[in-house]
Amino acid sequence: MDINQIAQMAGVSRATVSRYLNDGYVSQEKRAAIRRVIEKTGYVPSQHAKTLRTGKTNVVGIIIPKINSASVSRMVAGITPVLNAAGYQVLLANTDNDASREVDFLRLFSEKNQVDGVILIATVITEEHREAISSLPVPIVVLDQDVDFRSCVFQNDYEGMREVASIALRSARRPAYIGVFEEDVAVGRMRRQGFLAACAEAGVEVPERAMRIAEFTVDSGYEQAEALLETYPELDGIVCATDSIAYGALTCLREYGRRVPEDVVVTGMDDSEISQIVTPTLTTVHLHYKTSGAQTARMLVGFMTGEEYVARKVKMDYEVVARNSTR
């Protein structure tokens, strides 16, 4: 079944059917005739043919670093309703924290008629990323990193960490920090700087042996907390770059007989759902990931439809949530 057969069965021209399918003007009588034929035959217009006619795919590519990340899932949950409401489908590309695969997907989306726009949930921005992004023939918005060359939506990682670390420092005078690799500017570098700023404000010096680097997992949080207990046993606080790392630290401390918060205070950042049910409940920073996803999608739709032209940055707000892992 094709458009010519639909036109013949409805008793109208092929051009009339084309206008109907593309929301152009068609008289009520002819519109009703075409609709009856389509309902009777179950005809579905070819997306490929429509793409050839309009140059639009009505598809948005979303590049994500990790499919099982609580923060990423919240961002995607904010993105998809906005895009769906605007008539766009989503093509999800998971990189498993492999920066080179991010670049590969950016290059793939640069090919003709792949997508109408791209959202990159970024962890690192290398020169290869910049080159691939500059080659994109379609709009892109970067989510979760502050970049200077494209529109972006990002979290206030520095201030959020500085404030939650200050809560830990109310009772901790020998704090330790478990962060992530600093190539991730937002979570690695900015959160580490926020922690050190809070320590400087409190007049607390942090020795190098009190600083550890973990992966974005509970297991890695456990391992690095265990290493801290060996190299810095006098610690009385562990400030963690993410909630997942903090969950591992809490488990390690419990197994080593350290009471939280009586002996050691612990903080995280992200405010994942589990933070409300772990024992003790976790003091953390609520970042508005879902809202940031929705903001990013609205910005991209504006670029794709021509309603928005000026590149801009949006820094999200945050809320510190004090729970039972601190005093």
Q: What is the pLDDT of residues 204-261, one digit of tens each?
A: 999 999 999 999 999 999 999 999 999 999 999 999 999 999 999 999 999 999 999 9
Encoded tokens for 40: 């009777």
Q: What is the pLDDT of residues 184-197, one digit of tens each?
A: 999 999 999 999 99
H helix count then E strand count, the chain: 12, 12
Domains and CATH numbers, the chain: 3-45 (no CATH), 57-155+289-316 (3.40.50.2300), 157-287 (3.40.50.2300)
Q: What is the pLDDT of residues 118-170, one digit of tens each?
A: 999 999 999 999 999 999 999 999 999 999 999 999 999 999 999 999 999 99
Mean pLDDT of 36-43: 85
Maximum Cα–Cα distance across the chain: 86
What b/e string do you get for 280-300 counting C-beta neighbours within 10 Å, with b at 16 or more?
bebbbbbbbbbebbbbbbbbb
User: What pLDDT sits at residue 47?
Assistant: 53
Q: How far apart are CA 123 and CA 99, in angstroms?
A: 8
Contacts of 277 (CB under 8 A, 6+ apart): none
Q: pTM for the complete prediction? A: 0.82
Q: Which pLDDT score, from 0 to 100, does residue 52 have?
A: 44
Crossing angle of the two packed helices 70-85 and 289-305, in degrees rounded to 10: 40
pLDDT digits (tens, 9 = 90+) for 161-180: 999 999 999 999 999 999 99
Q: Is 302 exposed, middle or buried (0-12, 13-18, 19+ CB in 10 A)?
A: middle
